[in-house]
Amino acid sequence: MTDIEKPSNFIQQIISADLDANRVETVVTRFPPEPNGYLHIGHAKSICLNFGLAEQFNGACNLRFDDTNPEKEDDEYVQAIIEDVKWLGFDWADEPKFASDYFGQLYSWAQYLIGEGKAYICELNAEDMREYRGTLTEVGKNSPYRERPAEESLALLEQMKQGAVDEGTMTLRAKIDMASPNINMRDPVMYRIKKMAHHRTGDTWNIYPSYDFAHGQEDAIEGVTHSVCTLEFAANRPLYEWFTSNLPLPSVPRQYEFGRLNINYTVTSKRKLKQLVDEKHVDGWDDPRMPTISGLRRRGVTAAAVREFCDSLAVAKTDGVVDLAQFEHFIRTDLNDNASRAMCVLNPLKITLSNYEAGKEEILTAAGHPNRDDLPSRQLPFGREIYIDQSDFSEDTTLSRKKFKRLVIGEYVRLRGAYVIRADEVIRDDAGEIVEIIGSYVPDTVGENPPEGIRPRGVIHWVSASNCIDCDLYLYENLFTEAAPDAGEGSFLDHLNPQSLQIIKNCKAELGLGEAVAGQQYQFEREGYYCLDGKHSSADKLVFNRTIALR
């Protein structure tokens, strides 16, 4: 065995034992998504596991697309998946692989099984096939076509391939055991007729292999040694092994199952995620409320946070539900350590500093991060007029300093990275609403303590009124109000959170944010973590997505 870290989960232990016993020379794993949707956080765990195992054991991991169903698959999904896997920081030795690369070989193996008397063409329709299949408590019964001569089945299979047979009238089925307690073994379908173009092979094929028939054989062709998949495929493993033991394959892979990742307050069914997109409950697959990897990326979650979270999870033989707060812990930790700081005023309130020279402007310097000397400092224009947040001012002089550490009429507060100021007078509009505060600043207090007798209540953020940028903020919350939205009666859509997106327009942000690029993360001081949204931003108005609130 090579110089590797000590195995900690059951799959690592299996691989370690296989290497020690020389059952395996080089470890080969694979990540095999079907390109029928975008990847989600559950896939991220599988990606990290499969690529991580290959890395740990000095092996290789293939990215392979199981594109056996042209009805639901699209090249858009292929490209999105490639982008997601690369964004997470993983790569593969060769070009991505596809089940469709092996359609010719799979067809030859189907002919082989027919010739061996282990597959046949069945003419039962879908309804009759369900009836013949039996139930969990009743065994199935043989198809009347089960003993069809091999020569006849081979001829019919070729006619199916050539498009001479109507859809739904024939299938190719494996001949296994209609009395098996495992329903998957009751003569499963290997090929169906689908007269539709494939996103890679075009109109070449009129029949397509089932996932169960193709999957193990793809692994064998690629020399996969450890085929790691989630627990719902455990019942399919006997069928996987039946095919691999009854075909003349170049190698014999083994399948191992682990518990899938489920997180509360979300859904990870691709069918349900697609429904959210198709019915426009969300702004596409990359909507920042979606648990898709592209949605997380657009929201501002980093690849490092996703990987750290996935690596923290147990690789077990049972399914479980992880609390969303556990994921949020890794998001906040990563952003706290790495996100540049900036200031943005969500609900601007203007302050005019009456004793600051009109027309004068100075440039103050603030740290890019309090603990990161490697991040560039920020230049903060400061002048007579500034904005603070409306929530940071009160006329109530009875508020204790402990309860309200902000600006109160007649008292002092420190501006973050700038001067100490005092609120002196309130200006109101005709409706009686406060529209401006007249205040004053205390000279020589940038980075210095104020004179004796001046005691600021606290520290608040601000921006220059004349040198700032306008932006809109998209504040995201959980997409669902229930921890398990797809459990129980009714539709998961019944639990959509109507407050999952709040848009705050015309915020005022420090000037340097005008240079932000899509996906760049910031901590808006005292407000939360944000990133520039490349989808909604324009030259006239920048949009920042809230990744997550401060603790």
Annotated active-site positions, please? Answer: 34, 260, 270
Query: What's the CA gap between 263 and 267, in Å, rounded?
Result: 8
E strands, 390-525, in order: 393-394, 407-408, 412-415, 420-428, 434-442, 459-460, 463-464, 468-476, 501-510, 521-524
Q: How far apart are CA 164 and CA 168, in angstroms?
A: 12
What does R_g of the chain's alpha carbons equal in angstroms? 31
Q: CA-CA distances (angstroms) from residue 341 to 53, 303, 420, 513? A: 36, 20, 20, 10
Burial (0-12, 13-18, 19+ Cβ within 10 Å), 522: buried
Q: Is 91 helix (H, G, I), strand (E, B) or coil?
A: coil
Question: Which residues in 144-276 belong to E strands, given as ranges?
Answer: 171-174, 189-193, 207-209, 226-230, 254-258, 261-263
Distance CA 379, CA 388 (A): 18
Q: Which secondary-structure segment (H or E) carries 83?
A: helix 75-87
Give the three-class secondary structure for 214.
helix
CA 422 to chain centre: 46
Cβ atoms of 119 and 113 within 8 Å: the answer is yes
Tokens of 210: 């089932």
Residue 290 CA, chain-centre distance (Å), reads 7
- CB atoms near residue 468 (< 10 Å): 24
Other Cβ atoms closer than 10 A to 238: 14
Residue among 303, 379, 334 at smallest CA distance from 523: 334
